[in-house]
Amino acid sequence: MAGKSGLKVGSFFAGLGGICLGFKNAGFDLVWSNEIDAAACKTYRANFDHVLVEGDICALSPDDKRLKKVDIITGGFPCQAFSIAGYRKGFEDERGRGKLFFEMLRFIKAYKPKVLFFENVRNLQSHNNGETYKAIEKALTNLGYHVCSKVLDTCEYSRVPQHRERFYMVCFKSKRRAKLFDEIGWPKKVPASRRYKYWDIVNETADEIHYFNRYPHYYKPAMETIEATGNDCEAFYQWRRVYCRKNKNGVCPTLTANMGGGGHNVPLVMDKKDLRRLTPEECLKLQGFDPDTFKFPDDVSLGNRYKQIGNAVSVPVVEEIAKGILKVLSPQDKKTTDGQAS
């Protein structure tokens, strides 16, 4: 079913589809996506019906007939090389993850989309004393794009109570459009009174597999910390390797790709039964997905579900940015790549 905007989107580093879902919800047409992770591709295919090219972007060509010209290219390019939680090696990352951004430029140069959208960790902006971001911005400027960028925290710019600061970039061919987007396109803060509460996200109990007493060497010190800080049944906690941290104001700490394990960055809650980690369905809610309609295939493991969610974007934030893009495009801009008016 075509989106109401008529604008076509292609997505690199699609993951389980958070950016794509945000743009779809805003009325864009999803034409193709690319993702290398096999398990993420299984989840993506279970929830979207357009072309998904599974494989390494480095092995793809702009001449690939599956990757048609589009109006917008999006990319949540790998963030580990720039992350505060990672090694912060940037372009020098030995696995090449920091350089994958530049692989997208081959397609941008060939397809000349009207708009670009990128999402990454907050630290991208300051990595290597700002030199990394300057290199990215220069590369986009050389292709004729004007860059708008901003750090947004999910818990402030959506109803979702997750502290997730991310660096967003929106790029236009038109300098005037970019200036206008900076003025009226970015999402507005959501009043605290309209944001979801703890009980909108967390169930009263869960399956036995999620309870933290399965990890006794973590459970005891975590419980000691929780008891020392006051047993709060409406608080989010996080196990951080050797200690437990209580998150303030009923906001969940940042969900991470490694939260599926027993001992690092594990989001916890104290429900009516005992201390447990959040379920995948609760984590989906904390990224703005609807677990009643967005499903994991049965053969995607529990650990991989957590990994995919932790690597995902906050859908409502992306959706609001996508709506902001529509605000600043003229009727001429809204003609699709094949020349048909929306």
Tens-binned pLDDT, residue by residue, of the chain (342 aa): 456 788 999 999 999 999 999 999 999 999 999 999 999 999 999 999 999 999 999 999 999 999 999 999 999 987 554 444 444 443 454 444 458 888 999 999 999 999 999 999 888 888 778 888 888 999 999 999 999 999 999 999 999 999 999 999 999 999 999 999 999 999 999 999 999 999 999 999 999 999 999 989 899 999 998 888 887 888 999 998 888 888 878 899 999 998 986 667 899 999 999 999 999 999 999 999 999 999 999 999 999 999 999 999 999 999 999 999 999 997 666 666 554 433
pLDDT of residue 334: 64
**Catalytic pick from 20, 41, 58, 79?**
79
Alpha-carbon distances of 189 from 17, 96, 141, 195, 306, rounded to whole Å: 24, 36, 29, 10, 28
Query: What's the sign of the alpha-carbon dihedral 192, 193, 195, 196?
Result: positive
pLDDT of residue 173: 94
For 286, other C-beta atoms within 10 Å of its C-beta total: 27
Sheet of 72-75: strand order equals 51-54, 29-35, 8-12, 72-75, 115-121, 165-172, 146-153
As beta bridge partners, residue 74 has 11, 117
**Secondary structure of the chain: what % helix, strand, coil (to 5)?**
40, 20, 40
Please state whether 323 falls in left (phi above 0), alpha (psi between -120 and 50) or beta. alpha
Hey, what domains does the chain have and what are their CATH numbers?
Answer: 8-194+313-328 (3.40.50.150), 198-308 (3.90.120)
Predicted model pTM: 0.91
Query: Which pLDDT score, from 0 to 100, does residue 118 have?
Result: 97
CA–chain centroid gap for 223, Å, is 31
Q: Looking at residue 162, what DSSP letter applies?
A: B
- pLDDT for residue 6: 86
The confidence score (pLDDT) of residue 123 equals: 84
Give the separation between CA 185 and CA 341, rounded to whole angstroms.
22
- Residue 283 annotated to the active site: no
Q: Classify each residue of 167-178 as buried b or exposed e, where b means 16 or more C-beta atoms within 10 Å of its C-beta.
A: bbbbbbbbeebb
